[in-house]
Structures are given as structure tokens and as C-alpha cells.
Amino acid sequence: MTSLEGLSGSVWPLHVKPRPDELLSSWLIRFAHAHQLKIESMCTLLFGRQSPVWNRDIDRLAPVWLLQGICQATGTHLQQAKHTTLGDLEGWLTETISPLGKSHWIVPLGIFHRTRQHPGLMYCPACLSEEKSRYYRRLWRMAWATACLTHQCLLVDTCPACGAPIVPHRSDMGARCYLPTRLTLITCHACQKLLTQQTLLPVSPPLAALQAKLEDTLKNGYIALGDNPSLHSVLFFEGLRALLTGGLRAQKQRSTNVKKHAPVFESRPLEERRVILEQLAQWLNNWPEDFLTDIKVHSFRSAELCSPAGILPYWYYQVVHPLNQRITATTEMEAEAIMDAVAKQTGGYNLTAAQRLAGKNITPAWRHLHPLHRVNFDSYEMAVVEIDHQIAGTLDRSQRLLLLRTKFILVARYGLQVSIKSLSKLTLASLYQLASPIPNATFYEVPRSRVQAAAWLLWYWHHLRPQLSPAPDENRVFTSSLTHKGLSASACSLYSALPMRMLKSGQFT
């Protein structure tokens, strides 16, 4: 194996790629074992002896140097490598995934001095028995994923022989001369028994249906729930956790069999989570009627169902708020999160789309954060003059070109008097529709009328736009110097904002 030492930092002989939904840790182990190396030996060759790898949850933390190293060794694109991390689910599963602390819906490993105090990795014995699917999935770290829908069986999170947590990277820690085999990945690190040697237990139909719904939501980024055909996944999962914790809190007050001080859902034993999810499946099956029935039957109170520490997503709160007859107000943070989700889907800010996504009107909170400014001519003229000063102060050709583009974006926004959405979609044809005939441009003063602004923009189209090298099939007036495609609505909003924030921050693309 000495010949491999010189390959550190370059592509290794076997280009092992990550499989669908594979965890980063699983990919690293398969890569090492494919080269008949122990995982620790491979990490030393690839990252250096002093680089800490396994003393932390690398699937959650995923340091950049580690991703870059495995990408270089396997010839894998960095974006594909990021898909193996739990952090890549941020904005889909929950708003924020902490690299070190606890995060909603992710089962913790409980790492302490390289040992695992908590069974945080589940697996399907049937999947690991098949050569083509022998790897560990990101899904098996989700607290709500307790079954394998492919084999319709329950997941397990401990060794069937000795009950130890699943720690795949320690399974090859045998004698110094030990060589990993195709079965090492599915061998218990503690007793060396195969993890697949156990009886498969069938999953109940309600639990399978719930998990299928949650998997689809995570994959698509939205779910149809009640009257909302496209509820964003983050809002759904946050509301789901509120429903789960609130419902449990209400049940605790009326049951002598439920632990009064149970741990958070993600830290509960697998069997407990499964029982809780069965109840959740019942509530969601006919939402919200079945849940409202339980509220009446068990006399749940608002204080029990509502989290005292956080703001509830509207789809859940609108069901429980009649209990105290108070209407929830959208916080500025929630409005910002909803609008960011809309921007990712549509390419720009849209209050109508935000209302459809959230199921309520977020306009008051959004307008408090982003008030509508009625820009007068003096402010518009001063912004154009400020850019002229910036242009005069630099000799860098590309910088001057981008500053000129910003100047003409301002002219289009306030001279043509068009919306941000229309600005992002502005073409030569639509320019002629706004002002025709268009005269020759004169640059003695900043355009006041739509016709004067159109003349400036027609000059920009013929003389400056070609220097940004727009894509041959791109017909929008304003294009990016990086993608060579039309600027998005959010970019147009940035470049036409007053005061000129992009001049202070140097954001030009």
C-alpha cells in the first residue's frame, strides 16, 4: 500500500462516488475499504495525521477541508459532496441546522471522547444485506424516519447481538494487518457480528403512510395541506414538531403513564419515537378534524398545545388559536423566512405568493422591515451622480462596466417607472412597448420622462450590453457578468435600491 502515499491530494485509483442520499461518513468508509485501507489509515493519508475526523459528528459538521479532500481524491464535484451532509438539508428540514448542537428532527450521536453515548444512526437490515444498497443514508438520521419503505420493515439502531450503537467507522479496528472486506461496513464494531442477522419486523400502514408523506415533503420542499396546496417544508416541519410536542404536553397532564420530564423527541429511544409518530399519523390523517376531535374529547388547553418559547407556524396555530381567541401576529423573522422561501422558488419577492405559501397575510410585518419608498427625482438623480463619481474614480474596466450597468438599471427603474418584476424581465421589445418612437439619447441630464429613459436604455443595449457577453439566447436587457443570463428580480432589487447599498459593499456580479 505504500504506492498510495504519493496519491494524497490527487485522484485515487478507484473513483468511489456517493450513492443516493448517502451519508458523508458512509461514503468515506466505502472509499477507504474499496482501496483495502482501514478508515483511519485512509484519513491519515488524505487529510494528515493531525486532522481530527472521527471525534465529531462529521455528517453534521462536514468541514470544508474534509469535503474538498474527498472530492479531490474521488473526482467528485463539491456540490455533490455537500449533498451527503446533514447541513445540506438546511432550508428544507428546518431553518437552521447546528453543526455542533442539537437540531430539530436530527437524532444526536452523543459523541464523548470518540465514543457514542446515544444510538443516533438507524439502518435497514434488508438494505444492508443487498450489495447494491449497502451504505448508510441521511434519512436514517431523521428522528421521524423509523421504517424502510422499500422493504416495508422497521429500522433498528443497535446491534442485534450485543445492543451496541451503530458506529461503522470503528468496524475495521482489528489487528494491524487486518484488511477490510465487503462485509466490514455491516459488522458491529463491538462484537464483530453481522448487523443484518436479525428478523425483519413489518411497519404498520399508518406509520408507513406518514413517513412517505414526510419523505416527499423533504424531497419536494413543499406539501399540500388543508387549503394550502404548497406549504413550504420548513414551515410544515416546524408546525409538525409543535403539534408533536404540544400534543404530548397536553397528554402528559391527563395521563399517569406518560413520563412528566421526558427528553426532547430527537433524544428519545427509537421505540418511543415510533409510538409518538403513530399518534402523529392519526392526527394528520384527516387534518385538522381528527386533531380537533381529540382536543374536545380530552379537553386540551391552548397553554398546553402552544409552545411558550417560540412562534407557531400559521397552519398549526390557526387550528389551536380559537382556544384562547387570540389571532397570531406574523413576526418579522417569520415574514423574512417566508419571503426568502418565495424568492428561492420564484426568483424574487412577491407578497401574493408569500400569502399562498404561509396561508396568511404577512404584509404588515414585511412592510415594517421593507417599507415602500416613494423615490423623488432628487434622490434618483443623486444616486445616478454618485455612480458617476464611482466610475470616475476607477480605471478597472470590468468595474467601470458593472457600475455603468447599475446606473442604467436605476434609469430603467425610476425613469421608465417599472416594478422590480418588470425590470428583471425587461427586453428590447418591451422597451419599445413602453415608449415609441424612441429618440436618440442625450446625456446632458438624468432622464425625467419615460421616453428619455428609453433612449438611454436603447443606447445601453447597443453599446454596453454586448461587452457583458450575454448568452446568445438571452433577450433580457440586464444580464449577469458571471452567468451571462438575465439578472434575477432580487438582484435588480439590490441594484436599484436607494440608498445605493451595493456601492458601499462592493457587490457587483
Q: Indicate whether 9 and 55 sit together in one domain.
A: yes
Residue 349 scores a pLDDT above 50: yes
3-state secondary structure of 224: strand
Tell me what pLDDT residue 257 has: 55
3-state secondary structure of 444: coil
For residues 106 and 242, which has the higher predicted lDDT (pLDDT)? 106
Residue where a domain terminates, one of 251, 285, 301:
301
> In this structure, is residue 272 part of a structural domain?
yes
Q: Indicate whether 182 and 212 sit together in one domain.
A: no
Residue 37 scores a pLDDT above 60: yes
Q: What is the mean pLDDT of residues 297-323?
A: 75
> In this structure, is residue 317 part of a structural domain?
no
Residue 291 scores a pLDDT above 70: yes
Q: Indicate whether 84 and 110 sit together in one domain.
A: yes
- The runs of H, that is alpha helices, within 35-167 are 39-47, 58-61, 64-74, 78-82, 125-129
Our CA angle for 313, 317, 319, nearest 5°, is: 135
Q: What is the mean pLDDT of residues 266-272?
A: 93
Tell me what pLDDT residue 152 has: 97
Tell me what pLDDT residue 154 has: 97
The b-or-e profile of 438-456 (16+ CB within 10 A means b, else e) is beebeeeebbeeebbbbbb
Residue 196 scores a pLDDT above 80: yes
Q: Indicate whether 468 and 336 sit together in one domain.
A: no
Which range of residues forms the domain containing residue 346?
Answer: 332-369
For residues 503 and 292, which has the higher predicted lDDT (pLDDT)? 292
> In this structure, is residue 322 part of a structural domain?
no
Q: What's the pLDDT band for 506 if we cut at 50, 70, 90?
A: very low
For residues 279 and 351, which has the higher predicted lDDT (pLDDT)? 279
Mean pLDDT of the chain: 84
End-to-end CA distance of the chain: 47
Q: What is the mean pLDDT of residues 290-302?
A: 82
**187 in Cβ contact with 194 (< 8 Å):** yes
Question: Using one digit for the tens of pLDDT, what is the confidence trace for 201-238?
Answer: 999 999 999 999 999 999 999 999 877 888 899 999 99
Residue 9 scores a pLDDT above 60: no
Measure the CA–CA gap between 175 and 276, rounded to whole angstroms: 43
> In this structure, is residue 411 part of a structural domain?
yes
Q: Indicate whether 349 and 437 sit together in one domain.
A: no
Question: Using one digit for the tens of pLDDT, what is the confidence trace for 54-90?
Answer: 888 999 988 899 999 999 999 999 999 999 999 999 9
Tell me what pLDDT residue 4 has: 47
Q: Indicate whether 77 and 161 sit together in one domain.
A: yes
Q: Indicate whether 168 and 38 sit together in one domain.
A: yes
Give the percent of the chain with pLDDT over 70: 85
Q: Indicate whether 137 and 35 sit together in one domain.
A: yes
Tell me what pLDDT residue 271 has: 95
Q: Indicate whether 235 and 182 sit together in one domain.
A: no
Residue 509 scores a pLDDT above 50: no
* Cell digits of residue 411: 434609469
Tell me what pLDDT residue 450 has: 85
Tell me what pLDDT residue 501 has: 42
> In this structure, is residue 487 part of a structural domain?
yes
Q: What total number of domains does the chain contain? A: 4
> In this structure, is residue 448 part of a structural domain?
yes
Tell me what pLDDT residue 507 has: 43
**What is the phi/psi pair of residue 116, to 5°?**
-110, 120
Give the percent of the chain with pLDDT over 90: 44
Q: What's the pLDDT band for 366 if we cut at 50, 70, 90?
A: low
Q: Indicate whether 338 and 403 sit together in one domain.
A: no
The number of CA neighbours under 13 Å toward the Cβ of 220 is 14
Residue 141 scores a pLDDT above 80: yes
Tell me what pLDDT residue 3 has: 39
Tell me what pLDDT residue 324 has: 56
Using CA atoms of 215, 220, 225, 229 in order, give the dihedral in degrees to the nearest 10. -160
Residue 499 scores a pLDDT above 60: no
Q: What is the mean pLDDT of residues 82-110?
A: 89
Residue where a domain terminates, one of 350, 369, 388:
369
Tell me what pLDDT residue 114 has: 63
Residue 421 scores a pLDDT above 90: no
Q: Indicate whether 410 and 492 sit together in one domain.
A: yes
For residues 51 and 81, which has the higher predicted lDDT (pLDDT)? 81
> In this structure, is residue 20 part of a structural domain?
yes
Q: Indicate whether 6 and 106 sit together in one domain.
A: yes
> In this structure, is residue 88 part of a structural domain?
yes
Tell me what pLDDT residue 288 has: 87
**119 in Cβ contact with 166 (< 8 Å):** yes
Residue where a domain terminates, one of 249, 282, 301:
301
Range of lowest pLDDT (50-64, 320-334, 418-432): 320-334
